[in-house]
């Protein structure tokens, strides 16, 4: 790839963002945002799929597939996803998604 101004700008911004997210408080805030966004998406999935009853099985299958893929990525032995921020954020998002679905299930009494 050529070293253009845009390429230099994007790589510089990426390095600066990586440097900023090494701070533990910023890292925790990113993980909390991922958790809350996962809860929001879980509640949204339940509300959207609940409106149209024929989408329940499809949404459940997609959530199950997403959860298993994230588990496979995060918990395999040779991957560095446990140490990387994107891996932790993805796993935290998955936990929030699952928690949001459980909260809706308990509220509905199912």
- pLDDT per residue rounded down to tens, the chain (110 residues): 688 888 888 889 888 888 888 888 988 999 999 999 999 999 988 888 777 777 788 888 989 999 999 999 888 876 677 778 888 899 999 999 999 999 988 988 76
Q: What is the pTM of this model?
A: 0.81
**CA nearest 60: which of 104, 22, 23?**
104
The pLDDT value given to residue 73: 86
Buried b (16+ CB within 10 A) or exposed e, 33-55: ebbebbbebbbebbeebeeeeee
Nearest to 92, CA basis, from 65, 106, 69, 74: 74
């Amino acid at each position: 790839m050529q070293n253009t101004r845009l390429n230099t700008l994007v790589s510089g911004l990426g390095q600066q963002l990586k440097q900023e997210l090494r701070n533990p408080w910023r890292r925790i805030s990113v993980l909390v945002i991922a958790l809350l966004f996962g809860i929001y998406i879980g509640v949204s999935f339940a509300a959207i799929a609940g409106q149209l009853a024929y989408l329940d099985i499809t949404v459940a299958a997609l959530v199950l597939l997403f959860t298993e893929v994230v588990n496979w990525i995060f918990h395999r032995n040779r991957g560095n996803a446990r140490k990387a921020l994107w891996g932790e954020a993805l796993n935290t998002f998955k936990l929030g998604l699952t928690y949001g679905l459980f909260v809706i299930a308990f509220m509905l009494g199912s």
